[in-house]
Amino acid sequence: KSFQSVYSNIGASCNVGDSIEVIVSDMVKRPLFPETLSALDSIGKKVNISLLSNADDVFLGPVVGRIGRTFGCVISSESSRCYKPNPKIFNDITQQLKLRPDQLLYVGDRQWEDVHGPKLCGMATAWINRDHVPRDPNLSEPDHIITSLCEVSKLIN
């Protein structure tokens, strides 16, 4: 509906299905960060890894397949019917894992979605700040600030 609305507003006669196909194709082909697979292997030797994403299933499924690693659980915004930082999506992962929020370390690269949201639920957080962006003082403070997924392994006892 969004594509149809935009195309109608600008007077374009574009095929909505083709537009969606191009976006999905582009998103699932985006390169992983160089350290992703080795970092997941290192972390996975110490703890079970789960994945929680604001992506819908059509985007997330192919990316998870491309990663080629096993996750404890995978939760998409679509399956949870809400987006980060809504507490529901974080509560969904604790329920699926049968763990308390204080037993989890949530790792992500966005202050609002990946630090503020899980902190509201009682999770410890690690903010991947690859670009050395100043921390927003109006949002929850992360427990850890790192610059690469490789650093997560060192945070796990």
Q: What is the pTM of this model?
A: 0.86
For 40-47, which contacts have Cβ atoms below 8 Å and span 24 or more sequence positions?
A: 40/67, 40/69, 40/149, 41/69, 42/150, 42/153, 43/149, 43/152, 43/153, 43/156, 44/69, 46/153, 46/156, 47/156
The predicted pLDDT at position 70 comes to 94
Question: In terms of residues, how long is the chain?
Answer: 157
The predicted pLDDT at position 149 comes to 98
**Residues of the chain below pLDDT 70:** none
The predicted pLDDT at position 117 comes to 95
Residues 65-77: pLDDT tens digits?
999 999 999 999 9
The predicted pLDDT at position 6 comes to 86
The predicted pLDDT at position 38 comes to 98
The predicted pLDDT at position 13 comes to 86
The predicted pLDDT at position 5 comes to 85
